[in-house]
């Protein structure tokens, strides 16, 4: 790791993950793996909170070295979005415990929930469908707000879609 550009640039790229192809997916996958290991969303919630605090300064430092307002190397936005998505869905299922998946017997319901949330989040984030694209292209907002805003919108939409999946699953199972 090259720390010559400073710790904030290393944080912005999640210690180089943002520099590899598919960096955003890899950053999201790290959040997923942490949630799967922990079997809860407490660490993911902490990651979202912590990244929201360090993100702006890391972003400002990184854009001094790149020529884009939305550099592909900046992957903390995916950490924020994926953490929010996992936390939101996890909280919903803990409040309403009758909602769960049991699709694959070798995986726990929590594992399935987190994996489906990851897939839906990445679909929204990569495709930039509807409100995600609107947030990203809203030139009335500062560049950093657009950079993290599309991932936060993708997270919110992911939460809604996964909850709908859970509701449909509950109706079909009963």
Q: Which residues of the chain have pLDDT under 50?
A: none
pLDDT in the model for residue 1: 53
Distance between CA 1 and CA 58 in Å, rounded?
A: 16
Distance between CA 79 and CA 86 in Å, rounded?
A: 11
Distance between CA 110 and CA 42 in Å, rounded?
A: 13
pLDDT in the model for residue 63: 94
Classify the C-alpha dihedral 80-110-42-96 as positive or negative: positive
pLDDT in the model for residue 171: 82
The tokens describing 84, both together, are 């929010």
pLDDT in the model for residue 67: 87
Distance between CA 24 and CA 22 in Å, rounded?
A: 6
Separation of CA 104 from chain center = 24
User: CA distances (Å), 45 to each of 35, 50, 51, in order?
Assistant: 10, 9, 10
pLDDT in the model for residue 168: 87
CB neighbour list of residue 112: distance below 8 Å, 6 or more residues apart: 101, 102, 103, 104
CB 86 within 8 A of CB 117: yes
**What residue ranges do the domains of the chain occupy?**
3-173
Q: List pLDDT tens digits, range 109-156.
A: 888 999 999 999 999 999 999 999 999 999 999 999 999 999 999 999
In this structure, the number of other CB atoms found within 10 A of the CB of residue 57 comes to 12
Phi, psi for 83 (deg, rounded to 5)? -65, -40
User: CA distances (Å), 2 to each of 16, 30, 94, in order?
Assistant: 9, 21, 42
User: CA distances (Å), 28 to each of 91, 137, 150, in order?
Assistant: 19, 22, 14
């Amino acid at each position: 790791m090259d720390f010559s550009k400073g710790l904030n640039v290393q944080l912005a790229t999640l210690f180089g993950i943002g520099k590899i192809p598919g960096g955003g997916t890899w950053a999201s996958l790290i959040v997923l793996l942490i949630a799967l290991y922990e079997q809860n969303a407490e660490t993911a919630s902490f990651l979202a909170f912590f990244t929201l605090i360090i993100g702006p300064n890391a972003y400002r430092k990184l854009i001094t070295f790149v020529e884009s307002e939305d550099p592909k190397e900046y992957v903390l936005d995916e950490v924020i979005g994926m953490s929010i998505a996992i936390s939101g869905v996890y909280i919903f299922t803990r409040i309403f415990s009758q909602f769960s998946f049991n699709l694959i017997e070798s995986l726990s319901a929590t594992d399935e929930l987190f994996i489906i949330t990851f897939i839906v989040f990445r679909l929204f984030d990569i495709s930039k469908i509807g409100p995600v694209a609107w947030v990203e292209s809203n030139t009335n907002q500062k560049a950093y707000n657009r950079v993290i805003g599309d991932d936060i919108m993708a997270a919110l939409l992911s939460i809604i879609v996964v909850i709908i999946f859970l509701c449909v699953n509950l109706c079909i199972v009963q």
